[in-house]
Structure 1
């Protein structure tokens, strides 16, 4: 089977990035390294397996056999099953497989270390939840507690995100679903639902045949390693459904309902993660696919109104997004970010993206920049290009240095769909490359997330 020049070029670039990112830290090239001005212990803790955040630890676990079985079944039967299953069942099937795949990968590290204990670490949200006894007061004082080096400063992850993230876990606790297992389950279920959202969006934006080719790639994507479990998996699911609902509003029947719901989710998203403001680019890509500017405007207005309503609610509660964003930058640059040189992370971040989406999806990215195909069927291609541009903006902002395999999940889950644009005769091969890469990475590196 012959590999096309575009796929080959994309894969070669991806491989060079990954190999260089793993090798360069051991060459002692001054500031072209993951961490400077740090002790050996700090380098071990924060840059042991750069560009991936984790530690070298070859291991197997309870999830090894299920993960291998799911991977093999997805490669052997996935593309065929995706063509035969009734359409109504396909998004749900993709979601179920994605959830099972993510959970099995997490269980390679064990129940406590890989799942239930992930969100209970000292820097995670759940450690802050017991201190929230008055939610209105927490919102009123949220910005004032972002700066570090004061007795009541928020812990790392709470300070680095808008209050919606913390509120989610506080509400979960108030419902009686406290602890790391329930929080992990929320992130797993919402995060893996992104697979269903992308399948639906692919059909709406392009056609059903494309959506069926998308399904196997998003169902067993390597991004699942960080979806189970990190809060960013939850953010990715929320953002994915926001974009999908916007696509349904542009090309479906229930325009006002879907556009309002899209605005609600995307508006909520920017209060989960400051970086989700960049989802405006994929949203714009969706609007560009509208039949004309009037149709786009009829979708944009309800979406904007509901998104601004979310902003207004938080403002009324005492939190102004731009204040939080400014203070987060100050705390970020006062912390470990100052010791993570941009000379390394500016390109090593992209190597972590390759690891997160898999070389099979990288091969697919090599085929999305086809001017004739974009003119013929712009939908999904434009959204994927917008996701790529969003990543480049995030990278150049210097506000995402390291840990981007987790932080950029809202964008990378879309890039996994690029496999749909590969020639059908090679799709199974590239799908195998993706799952093998995920299995190797998860068994060789003990990821921090």
Structure 2
């Protein structure tokens, strides 16, 4: 792979040297990558225009998919209801979006690396909170996790964690003695444990739970760029940074437990990428980093059953990082978490078998597979935004398995497997967020001159959904 990139880079550099003086316009000037010229970015102005038109066509097709999903159902496929509304945070959300569009791309290239990550985390928190508070303090934030179907409903009754883990699988199926509420039953015990631990720390109630979810969601804005940088694509990390911050999926990240799932697993992926890099440099910390990555990813298995599919993204990182040792250490970390839960009384496969039965007992039985198998993708389009759609098109046409291509391909495969399984019918704009954030690296493939427009489209998507619909999360 590296030899291929070097050869194409040398070829591009030769073309630059042999070009007539004055013929290197900004549109055709190559971009230096890893000390060589990446000829794949060297295009004529006409070719650039054609590619942009292709991006717009791809977005148009995605928009038609969304429109068809709305027309068939006579309402958006998103989990919520039409309710045009605004709140005190609406003005702040719009101003934040404008600021990100105007200054985001410039900050991405000018800020020092650590400052960029810190700025991204703070800006992401502001974006998450502003979108949540459009619905008001109680409805949009403080009371989101206090409904009878949520995790907090069960926290007070869990007085003995050991007993809870030992009997957890026996209480999943509806109708069994003391069966769990919907969200607790639908996930492994790690999900409810997060909120039990918060309660034990004195951070009880809906407000602290909501803050914890938002804080975890903000970690995505750090993890995705760190992963790309660790895989040798610092320029791509900076390019996609504004898109990670202004992620339309923030509508559902704040406030939902899936924000915790996305944040924890994203950090695991980032730590694995760093472990691969550290292994090549001979760092003595590489094994610890890899095991830590495995522990985070392993805990992810006990946050949501579907997160087993994130193993595809982890495998992509291991291949890109070219470190079998780091990958094996990470696998050991995953195994250690699985063993710890098993010793405590919960076997993952037992829970999975029970949750499939519970899934078909509930509302999923009323959701036709023939509709949701494609309408789910319309929900995903609204969650990731048009910039990711355009980026995915470019990834599809890209030459070579770059980190941007492999990460997005792995995440897309995870989504498609989840989709065809029939165990993801509706609500995927929230459920698939841990996968969706790994589609964001595709935005680094968008031409620099168009990124502000794409950022504006991302912001418009999030603001439109948030103000036109009352989402449950």
C-alpha offsets along residues 205-239 of structure 1, whole Å, 9 cap, x if unaligned? Answer: 24221111111000011011111100001100011
Residues of 2 paired with 1:304 and 1:212: CA distance? 29
1:443 aligns with 2:467: yes
> TM-score when scaled to structure 1?
0.91
Equivalent residue for 1:142, pick from 136, 154, 168: 168
> 2:407 touches 2:441 (CA, 8 Å); kept in 1?
no
Aligned to 1:14: 62
1:247 aligns with 2:273: yes
1:362 aligns with 2:389: yes
1:434 aligns with 2:458: yes
Moved more, 3-12 or 424-433: 3-12
Pairwise CA distance, 1:94 = 1.1
1:108-119 map, 5 Å: 108-119=134-145
Paired residue secondary structure (2:218) = helix
Aligned to 2:7: none
Aligned to 1:207: 233
C-alpha offsets along residues 421-447 of structure 1, whole Å, 9 cap, x if unaligned? Answer: 100011110110000111011000000
Aligned to 1:274: 305
> 1:387 touches 1:414 (CA, 8 Å); kept in 2?
yes
Equivalent residue for 2:318, pick from 281, 287, 293: 287
1:382-421 map, 5 Å: 382-421=406-445
> 1:71 touches 1:220 (CA, 8 Å); kept in 2?
yes
C-alpha offsets along residues 51-86 of structure 1, whole Å, 9 cap, x if unaligned? Answer: 110011100002101100110000011100111111
Residues of 1 paired with 2:88 and 2:304: CA distance? 32
Misfit runs of 4+, over 6 Å: none
When Rg is computed on C-alpha atoms for both structures, the one with the higher figure is 2
Paired residue secondary structure (1:55) = strand
Paired residue secondary structure (2:156) = helix
Higher relative contact order at CA 8 Å, sep ≥6: structure 1 or structure 2?
1
Pairwise CA distance, 1:204 = 1.5
Equivalent residue for 2:290, pick from 246, 259, 281: 259
- Structure 2: state its 5+ residue gaps: 1-47
Residues of 2 paired with 1:257 and 1:430: CA distance? 39
Paired residue secondary structure (2:399) = helix
Paired residue secondary structure (2:247) = coil
Residues of 2 paired with 1:224 and 1:382: CA distance? 24
Residues of 1 paired with 2:356 and 2:68: CA distance? 29
Residues of 2 paired with 1:8 and 1:436: CA distance? 16
Pairwise CA distance, 1:350 = 0.4
Paired residue secondary structure (1:181) = helix
C-alpha offsets along residues 241-290 of structure 1, whole Å, 9 cap, x if unaligned? Answer: 11111111112343212111110000000000000000110011111113
For residues 88 and 200 of structure 1, do their structure 2 counterparts lie closer, same or farther at Cα, with a shift above 3 Å needed?
Answer: same
RMSD: 1.2
Residues of 1 paired with 2:76 and 2:82: CA distance? 10
Residues of 1 paired with 2:226 and 2:379: CA distance? 27
> 1:60 touches 1:109 (CA, 8 Å); kept in 2?
yes
Residues of 2 paired with 1:212 and 1:306: CA distance? 30
> 1:201 touches 1:248 (CA, 8 Å); kept in 2?
yes
Aligned to 2:333: 306
What number of residue pairs does the alignment pair up? Answer: 420
Pairwise CA distance, 1:416 = 2.7
1:177 aligns with 2:225: no
Equivalent residue for 2:255, pick from 226, 229, 242: 229
- Structure 1: state its 5+ residue gaps: 27-48
Pairwise CA distance, 1:300 = 1.8
1:71 aligns with 2:97: yes
Residues of 1 paired with 2:331 and 2:441: CA distance? 27
Pairwise CA distance, 1:187 = 0.6
Aligned to 2:18: none
> 1:192 touches 1:224 (CA, 8 Å); kept in 2?
no
Residues of 1 paired with 2:190 and 2:139: CA distance? 26
Residues of 1 paired with 2:82 and 2:464: CA distance? 12
Residues of 1 paired with 2:218 and 2:395: CA distance? 24
1:348 aligns with 2:381: no
Residues of 1 paired with 2:222 and 2:321: CA distance? 22
